[in-house]
Structure 1
Amino acid sequence: TYYLPHTSSGEEVKVVLPEGVLGGMSNHRVVWKVSDGCGNISTCTTYFMVVDSIPPTPYCVNLSTALMENGQVELWACDFDLGAFDNCTEQENLRFTFSDVPPSQDPSYNPNSQCSSMIFTCDDLIASGGSVITLDVYVWDEKDNYDFCSVFLTLVDNQDSCDDIGSKPTAQIGGTILTEEGDHIENVEVFLTSVQPEYPKNKMSDASGHYMFEKNDMYKDYNLIADKQDDPLNGISTLDILLIQKHILGIERLESPYKLIAADVNDDAQVTAVDLLELRKLILGIYEELPQNKSWRLVRESSINNPLAPWNYSEERVILDLDNNMMQEDFIGVKIGDVNASAKANFRDSESELRNSERVELTYDDRHVSAGEIVEVTLSSSALKELYGLQFTLVTNGMDILDIRSENPAISDEHFAILSDNVMTCSWNTDILLEDEALATIVLKAKEDANLNSQFNLNSQVANSEAYIGKDLTTLPIQLTGRNNSEQLFSLYQNNPNPFNGMTTIEFNLPESDNATLSIYDVTGRVIWSTTQAFNKGINAIQLKKDELNATGILYYRLDAGDNSATKKMIILE
């Protein structure tokens, strides 16, 4: 039994389970007691289950083995293990197979060795066109969660057991493409060129970052290069500008040659203020891609001679007189502009979500506006004096954005961009904390009669809405709030993020503490989810998961509280 300390009205209550009671699956009960000032006490009980749904982390090794006299050899999946581990299952209880069929259903699985076996023959050697075979090794925990790694098996026919293999000597060329942090990079296009008529050839790296070119004639010359041009904004934020600026000012140096390459945004073999300007234009949406650089650089690690000035790095591997399998032709992928290693390298990398309950609030004076009126809206934040940077996308509905200006000398036009009549972006950072709370004034023209709070909101359409606070540059989400002196406005805000694929947050303002009902509807008007709760006066928030709604596409959400009601639209991605 664990007791929580008494909390006051409006405080957040957290239940933290001790590590000793956590496991693969465990049931728990929380008894809540609420009391008022008159000594009245009410209780309710919440039950929840902790389930292990995280797959093991595989670590694998490539192997080489010889065929026996009968032209066969038997190998076990665990032979390829280099130290896989799991969050709940002990290492000695992990299981290994060659397929995604659960061990309990795999006829080749041996429960004593906790491994599946596979027999390799001359047929495998012939089918591979040489001697290197690509395999997937699956690692399973006790709850049948699994992940896999791809390995290379080199089969050697030392005893000439296989008579059917042609005499023309060939060799394989392959390797792995990783980030500096060791994340596998998929969908990298690798080109192998040669003067031979069937070249050039190209291969795409798989989810484990592997690529391989088979059956290349030996004793020929080859060139190997790699290329990846995906979303230029992948992993890019104003936080990267802050870190590059700290490097330029000598406050905190970028500690690796790959981060220096990433910081050289305009590809001029140096890191200067020009790189900051170019990167900010990309974040603001002024650039769709960097005009003087690629999205990724694929670097040969051995080509960096000076880690402090790595500008002569090579992205090409020259192979002269190929006389052996070359399966370690690896590349290091560098996402240009991303110096904090936040780029998504493969489809298994989850999107980074800001789950911190603390928020940075951008406020403005809410009021009613009339069609045709020119409106000046000043965005302010009491947290601005603690911020080292922020970025956001602001979208209007029923208002045209005419101009953006700031009276703060540390904030200039280069920190903003008007991308269309109803979309603007902001990317601002500083190395000296501000004294003023005002960020900027937006000049708009109203196209209809409405309250300001229904006319614009923040989203992540171009730049993610986030702020960087304190010396450790903690990243916090930004909330846009309209101030009303009487605090009597009932408001339902746009869910964030929108569209979403995993989780979204719906915020609303109540003029007084009250019971409220939030309902989710599909386009036919059918209620697919609803909740009624008691909420406090002011800003409240409800988090929704996609799995709870069991729907995709356009949905509507409505908030009812007392005599007030409001409806907004949201989109769930496939």
Structure 2
Amino acid sequence: MKQVLKLIALICLVSSALRSQEVPDFVLHDSEGNTHQLSAYLQNNQYVVLEFFHSLATQANSMAYDLEQLYEVWGNGEFKVQFLAVSLRDFDDNATLNKFKVKYRASFPHCGVDGGALTNMTPWTDGIYGQIRLLPSFVIISPDSTVVFDIRDNNTLALLDSIDHTLYRLGARKPFIVKGQVTMDDSPMQEVQVEADDEMTHNNRVVLTNLEGKYIHVFDSTPSDRSILFRPIKNDRHDNGVSTWDIVFTIKHILGQEPFTTIEELIAADINHDERISAIDVVEMRKMVLGIDTVFKNNTSWRFIPKNYQYPTVDSLFLLGFPEAITIGEILDQPDNASFIGIKVGDVNGSAEVNLLESRNEHPSAAPLYYAFRENDGGQRILRITLPAESSQWVGMQLGLQLPGQPLKITTNLSHWEDGLSFYD
């Protein structure tokens, strides 16, 4: 009995090895010059999905967007599954395939006549597994060399489902993908760092938002650690969007003349990050406008809040608090819904440049003013500023003077301005 068991085990091992050798290897070069070798993918324990097609095939065109989505769901080729599109027509050179990819926003590799598709793939199109006659046709190869050949269906949705289910049946598992978008006033914010912070292991990973303000964090599987936090970070150009208007609006809020009506305004006006709006915040704004400070000492230049969070009223925002990150436990059922709203600190009226490549052409009107020093009876200097008559209609102004020393007092010809003028050394 023991001899029989040993013999059976030996036969199984030999059969498995032969099976691995029977899978025809191939080397292809995609339209962007990258090399793809089947054996390298299999040795790396990856599954390979081959799409045999050509760029004029009706179904290949109609399903291109959906196929790209399936590729993304399976991890964009960065994890256990790689997709390769292989054209079987000599008119699909690299230039043609790149146009096809741009047209359908396809990101997975496409290989054509320039990359060896017609010369290197014969064992797969007319070999031991059969013939590929109708296009598109799909072949799936697992790391253990199991091959599912010629997957086709005229119904595109059924075909995509078949590819998806076949991968799962062969043992592949989808990665856990967290997606979101970072915006300000519905404008996408580019190159924002989005951190995935594992508070238990202190293992952080960071990705950048793309041109559409979108980001993707991909995990091998659904994380068991529920303490992972997703948090955007942007801390540059503190002066971006900060102007005299923001000072005026903040003062009016403090005085109760025109209270803020949105949580974004409140968060933007909280310059020193003490969860209340006060004269200290106004002072910090003025220093930024005048160029005395280049950064907010107790704050970052941007703060971010989860887009789908149910926020309290404006009156209770600072009392109840608000999140600035999303926990993975909140989005397990909707991992593609981790979006954030960006708030530029100090920019109460929303005038900040959302992206560095954008520019705002502001043409403020100019008005002459004059100043002079006078001495009182005690020899102390008083700064006298003469403003134009139209300044009586202004709601705010900003100016900077380089003075030899601090004056005792600042006066103007329009007395209602005097309480609003401050001196910073």
Shorter-chain TM range is: 0.5 to 0.7
Give how far 1:246 is off. Answer: 1.8
Find the counterpart in structure 2 of residue 384 from structure 1. Answer: 391
Q: Deviations over 1:245-278 (max 9, x none)?
A: 2222333232211111112222222223332223
Give how far 1:233 is off. Answer: 0.8
Equivalent-residue separation in structure 2 for 1:155 and 1:201 (angstroms): 36
Q: Which amino acid aligns with 2:359?
A: S
Q: Deviations over 1:265-301 (max 9, x none)?
A: 2222222333222322332334332233221111113
Matches within 5 A, 1:526-541: none
Identify the structure with bigger relative contact order (alpha carbons < 8 Å, sequence gap 6+).
2
Equivalent-residue separation in structure 2 for 1:195 and 1:123 (angstroms): 40
Task: Give TM-score, length-normalised by structure 1.
Answer: 0.42
Give how far 1:175 is off. Answer: 0.9
Equivalent-residue separation in structure 2 for 1:234 and 1:304 (angstroms): 28
Q: 1:155 to 1:285 in 2, by over 3 A?
A: farther
Equivalent position SS for 2:335: coil
Question: Are the counterparts in 1 of residues 235 and 301 from structure 2 also a CA contact under 8 Å?
Answer: yes
Question: Are the counterparts in 2 of residues 176 and 330 from structure 1 also a CA contact under 8 Å?
Answer: yes
Matches within 5 A, 1:301-340: 301-308=307-314, 309-311=316-318, 312-320=321-329, 326-340=335-349
Q: Which amino acid aligns with 2:215?
A: Y
Deviates most, 342-351 or 287-296: 287-296
Find the counterpart in structure 2 of residue 416 from structure 1. Answer: 423
Task: Give TM-score, length-normalised by structure 2.
Answer: 0.54
Q: Does 1:228 align with 2:234?
A: yes
Aligned length: 280
Q: Which amino acid aligns with 2:387?
A: S
Find the counterpart in structure 1 of residue 249 from structure 2. Answer: 243
Q: 1:381 to 1:109 in 2, by over 3 A?
A: same
Question: Are the counterparts in 2 of residues 265 and 275 from structure 1 also a CA contact under 8 Å?
Answer: yes
Q: Deviations over 1:195-253 (max 9, x none)?
A: 79793111122332111112442142332112111111110011101011222233323
Q: 1:251 to 1:171 in 2, by over 3 A?
A: same
Deviates most, 386-395 or 293-302: 386-395
Q: Does 1:160 align with 2:167?
A: no
Matches within 5 A, 1:107-256: 116-117=103-104, 157-160=160-163, 167-179=172-184, 181-194=185-198, 199-220=203-224, 221=226, 222-256=228-262
Question: Are the counterparts in 2 of residues 169 and 218 from structure 1 also a CA contact under 8 Å?
Answer: no
Find the counterpart in structure 2 of residue 468 from structure 1. Answer: none
Equivalent-residue separation in structure 2 for 1:267 and 1:155 (angstroms): 54
Q: Which amino acid aligns with 2:256?
A: G
Give how far 1:316 is off. Answer: 1.4
Equivalent-residue separation in structure 2 for 1:123 and 1:196 (angstroms): 41
Equivalent-residue separation in structure 2 for 1:393 and 1:276 (angstroms): 16
Give how far 1:117 is off. Answer: 4.4
Equivalent position SS for 1:406: strand
Among 347, 353, 373, the residue aligned to 1:344: 353
Equivalent position SS for 1:167: coil
Instruction: List gaps (5 residues or longer) in structure 1.
Output: 1-66, 80-105, 127-153, 366-373, 419-574
Equivalent-residue separation in structure 2 for 1:216 and 1:333 (angstroms): 29
Query: Which structure: larger Rg?
Result: 2
Equivalent position SS for 1:241: helix
Equivalent-residue separation in structure 2 for 1:322 and 1:168 (angstroms): 19
Q: 1:75 to 1:230 in 2, by over 3 A?
A: farther
Q: Deviations over 1:482-526 (max 9, x none)?
A: xxxxxxxxxxxxxxxxxxxxxxxxxxxxxxxxxxxxxxxxxxxxx
Q: Which amino acid aligns with 1:205?
A: T
Question: Are the counterparts in 2 of residues 69 and 159 from structure 1 also a CA contact under 8 Å?
Answer: no
Which structure's residues are more often strand, by fraction? 1
Give how far 1:121 is off. Answer: 7.2
Among 353, 367, 380, the residue aligned to 1:360: 367
Equivalent position SS for 1:259: helix
Question: Are the counterparts in 2 of residues 265 and 293 from structure 1 also a CA contact under 8 Å?
Answer: yes
Q: 1:158 to 1:68 in 2, by over 3 A?
A: farther
Question: Are the counterparts in 1 of residues 193 and 233 from structure 2 also a CA contact under 8 Å?
Answer: yes
Find the counterpart in structure 1 of residue 263 from structure 2. Answer: 257
Equivalent position SS for 1:332: strand
Q: Deviations over 1:512-542 (max 9, x none)?
A: xxxxxxxxxxxxxxxxxxxxxxxxxxxxxxx
Question: Are the counterparts in 2 of residues 300 and 313 from structure 1 also a CA contact under 8 Å?
Answer: no
Which structure's residues are more often helix, by fraction? 2
Q: Which amino acid aligns with 1:297?
A: R
Equivalent position SS for 1:389: coil
Matches within 5 A, 1:425-464: none
Equivalent-residue separation in structure 2 for 1:270 and 1:198 (angstroms): 31
Q: Which amino acid aligns with 2:186?
A: G
Question: Are the counterparts in 2 of residues 263 and 339 from structure 1 also a CA contact under 8 Å?
Answer: yes
Find the counterpart in structure 2 of residue 274 from structure 1. Answer: 280
When the two chains are superposed, the root-mean-square deviation of aligned CA atoms in Å is 4.3
